[in-house]
């Protein structure tokens, strides 16, 4: 971190978040100077398409489509990297670090895939990487794990980390709409990407959970070791039944230590409706984190969006400009030396479950399903097949909801496969864990 009064930064990427960064740099220059005692100067901007119209007053700041203009400029101290995707981000950040630039990034996919490599390179070169904006947008969860909770051994993390899927689930229930209808509307309004796969299938949340897990427990967990399930097969009926039973369905990301093993999952989960996680609606995120000393702490707010994410980027810029970020990043290197915690095999995760089947409305269907559950040592806590509400318009098809007592993911998977093979099964089915 240079100690001259002027801090020269470059902006790589000037889309939604980048535009927010420019706005705060311009509107809050006085605040940034007070906080840092320095003048933060935006010296260069790199974009993909220099001709694209941007609703920003960029004045004399050179805008280029070539990142070498930043890499080769010895005056630039640090780059704000707000471009998504793994490539060319990986090469760009590598080159920036090697050119002696510190990096402030909001790119969670990059950190998930190549964080260890980039952090090691930065440590080796004496550079700093800041990444508060990469997880949960404006919520200062990286800062909480890296500074406020440092005297704690983290016991568990339970979070809503994907705003798009939370928006869809909230809206389905509020408006009594189908998954498809809400998704179409969210795309039309720009709340969901044209290709929302990473948001709705749990990939985005799992990448963020993996980053938090690395920071909190010092253990690297690849996506394949996280029980992961998306929200695509949830029907409005599931949300309504859960609601009647006193639950909300949330795409819950959890990472907890249980009997010395680390359990990770990202799954639509039934959460009791008076819990703060259940009440986190719309595009908001929440992170509940339990430390051995501090107990349960909760952080919630906007998990994405232009200004909240830009706010997190600027918090990093201020932390960097004052020198705090370099210190924090150094301590992350020491934390690499922690002994990794062994992972719980996915099949061993033990929870209660909600299962919903679409079945032919004929004799012995329930008996068949109950038999399969019984043979897999899964005991049923409640069954529900209403005569009216759950019957489809097309006659002869009914929806059956079963709540189980505590069992394992492995047993559930076995039973589910056997049930799927029943000739009486129709259309979609779903199983979701219940958070205790």
Cα Rg of the chain, angstroms: 24
Long-range Cβ contact pairs of 58-65 (< 8 A, separation 24 or more)? 58/22, 63/14
20 binds a copy of itself (CB under 8 A): yes
User: Quick check: 221 and 261 in contact, CB under 8 A?
Assistant: no
Looking at 336-389, list the stretches that DSSP marks H as alpha helix, in order from N- to C-terminal side. 365-375
Looking at 108-202, list the stretches that DSSP marks H as alpha helix, in order from N- to C-terminal side. 108-125, 141-143, 163-175, 179-188, 197-200
User: Quick check: 80 and 313 in contact, CB under 8 A?
Assistant: yes
Residues 250-279 that bind a copy of itself (CB under 8 A): 274, 276, 279
Straight-line distance from the first to the last Cα atom of the chain, in angstroms, rounded to the nearest whole number: 46
- Dihedral sign from CA coordinates of 25, 30, 36, 37: positive
Considering the complex, state which of residue 259 and residue 334 has its C-beta at the smaller distance from a copy of itself: 334
Task: Return the residue of 26, 124, 330, 382 that touches a copy of itself, per CB under 8 A.
Answer: 330
Segment interacting with a copy of itself (CB under 8 A) among 77-85, 142-150, 203-211, 410-418: 142-150
- The Cα 128–Cα 375 span in angstroms is 55
Considering the complex, state which of residue 138 and residue 196 has its C-beta at the smaller distance from a copy of itself: 138
Lateral strand order in the sheet of 129-130: 63-64, 39-46, 6-12, 78-81, 102-105, 129-130
Segment interacting with a copy of itself (CB under 8 A) among 75-83, 121-129, 143-151, 384-392: 143-151
Segment interacting with a copy of itself (CB under 8 A) among 74-82, 177-185, 192-200, 295-303: 295-303
Task: Return the residue of 100, 301, 371, 428 that touches a copy of itself, per CB under 8 A.
Answer: 301
- The Cα 333–Cα 135 span in angstroms is 19
243 binds a copy of itself (CB under 8 A): no
15 binds a copy of itself (CB under 8 A): no
Contacts of 176 (CB under 8 A, 6+ apart): 236, 240
Residues 382-421 that bind a copy of itself (CB under 8 A): none
Q: Find the catalytic residue in 101, 108, 208, 250.
A: 208
CB of 295 to a copy of itself, least distance (A): 5
Nearest to 125 by CA among 346, 326, 281, 413: 326
User: Quick check: 71 and 101 in contact, CB under 8 A?
Assistant: yes
CB of 318 to a copy of itself, least distance (A): 5
Segment interacting with a copy of itself (CB under 8 A) among 102-110, 208-216, 255-263, 298-306: 298-306
Residues 150-209 that bind a copy of itself (CB under 8 A): 150-153
Considering the complex, state which of residue 74 and residue 190 has its C-beta at the smaller distance from a copy of itself: 190
337 binds a copy of itself (CB under 8 A): yes
CB of 130 to a copy of itself, least distance (A): 12
Task: Return the residue of 231, 257, 262, 315 that touches a copy of itself, per CB under 8 A.
Answer: 315
Segment interacting with a copy of itself (CB under 8 A) among 86-94, 101-109, 110-118, 305-313: 305-313
Residues 37-76 that bind a copy of itself (CB under 8 A): 37
Kind and range of the H or E element at 411? helix 409-420
Tell me the site size for a copy of itself, rule CB under 8 A: 59
Asked if residue 434 has a cis previous peptide bond (ω within 30° of 0), the answer is no
Considering the complex, state which of residue 177 and residue 306 has its C-beta at the smaller distance from a copy of itself: 306
24 binds a copy of itself (CB under 8 A): yes
CB of 287 to a copy of itself, least distance (A): 10
Task: Return the residue of 102, 132, 201, 361 that touches a copy of itself, per CB under 8 A.
Answer: 132
Strand boundaries in 361-424, DSSP class E: 380-384, 397-404, 407-408
Is 208 one of the annotated active-site residues of the chain?
yes
- Dihedral sign from CA coordinates of 378, 381, 383, 389: negative
User: Quick check: 308 and 17 in contact, CB under 8 A?
Assistant: no
- The Cα 1–Cα 319 span in angstroms is 10
Considering the complex, state which of residue 295 and residue 374 has its C-beta at the smaller distance from a copy of itself: 295
Half-sphere exposure of 125 (CA within 13 A, CB side): 21
Nearest to 226 by CA among 175, 262, 189: 262
323 binds a copy of itself (CB under 8 A): yes
Task: Return the residue of 291, 365, 378, 416 that touches a copy of itself, per CB under 8 A.
Answer: 291
Considering the complex, state which of residue 132 and residue 361 has its C-beta at the smaller distance from a copy of itself: 132
Task: Return the residue of 233, 298, 352, 384 that touches a copy of itself, per CB under 8 A.
Answer: 298
User: Quick check: 341 and 263 in contact, CB under 8 A?
Assistant: no
- The residues assigned a catalytic role are 208
Residues of the shown chain interacting with a copy of itself in the complex, contacts defined by CB under 8 A: 20, 24, 28, 31-32, 34-37, 132, 138-140, 143-144, 147-153, 274, 276, 279, 291-302, 305, 307-308, 310-312, 314-315, 317-319, 322-324, 327-328, 330-331, 334-335, 337-338
């Amino acid at each position: 971190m240079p100690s001259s009064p002027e801090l020269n930064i470059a902006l790589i990427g000037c889309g939604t978040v980048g535009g927010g960064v420019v706005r705060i740099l311009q509107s809050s220059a006085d605040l940034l100077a007070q906080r840092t005692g320095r003048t933060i100067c935006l010296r260069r901007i790199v974009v993909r398409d220099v001709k694209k119209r941007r609703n920003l007053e960029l004045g004399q700041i050179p805008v280029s489509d070539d990142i070498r203009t930043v890499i080769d400029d010895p005056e630039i101290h640090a780059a704000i990297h707000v471009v998504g995707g793994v490539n060319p981000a990986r090469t760009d950040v590598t080159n920036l670090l090697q050119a002696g630039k510190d990096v402030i990034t909001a790119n969670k996919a990059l950190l998930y895939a190549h964080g260890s490599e980039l952090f090691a390179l930065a440590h080796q070169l004496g550079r700093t990487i800041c990444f508060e904006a990469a997880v949960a947008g404006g919520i200062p969860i990286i800062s909480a794990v890296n500074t406020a909770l440092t005297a704690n051994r983290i016991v568990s993390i339970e979070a809503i980390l994907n705003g798009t899927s939370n928006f869809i689930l909230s809206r389905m229930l509020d408006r009594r709409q189908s998954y498809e209808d809400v998704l179409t509307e969210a795309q039309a309004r720009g709340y969901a990407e044209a290709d929302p796969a990473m948001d709705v299938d749990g990939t985005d949340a799992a990448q963020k959970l993996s980053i938090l897990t690395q920071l909190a427990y010092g253990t690297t967990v690849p996506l394949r070791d996280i029980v992961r399930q998306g929200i695509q097969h949830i029907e409005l009926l599931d949300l309504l039944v859960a609601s009647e039973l006193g639950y909300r369905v949330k795409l819950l990301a959890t990472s907890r230590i249980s009997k010395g093993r680390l359990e990770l999952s990202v799954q639509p989960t039934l959460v009791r409706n008076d819990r703060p996680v259940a009440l986190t609606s719309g595009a908001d995120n929440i992170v509940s984190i339990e430390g051995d000393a501090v107990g349960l702490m909760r952080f919630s707010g906007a998990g994405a969006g232009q200004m909240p994410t830009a706010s997190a980027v600027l918090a990093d810029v201020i932390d960097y400009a004052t020198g705090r970020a370099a210190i924090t990043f150094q301590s992350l290197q020491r934390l690499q030396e922690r002994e990794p915690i062994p992972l719980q095999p996915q099949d061993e995760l033990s929870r209660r479950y909600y299962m919903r089947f679409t079945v032919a409305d004929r004799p012995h269907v329930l008996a068949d399903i109950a038999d399969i559950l019984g043979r897999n040592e899964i005991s049923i806590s409640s069954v529900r097949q209403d005569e009216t509400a759950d019957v489809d318009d097309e006659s002869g098809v009914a929806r059956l909801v079963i709540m189980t007592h505590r069992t394992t993911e492995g047993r559930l998977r076995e039973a589910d496969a056997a049930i799927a093979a029943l000739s009486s099964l129709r259309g979609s089915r779903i199983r979701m864990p219940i958070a205790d």
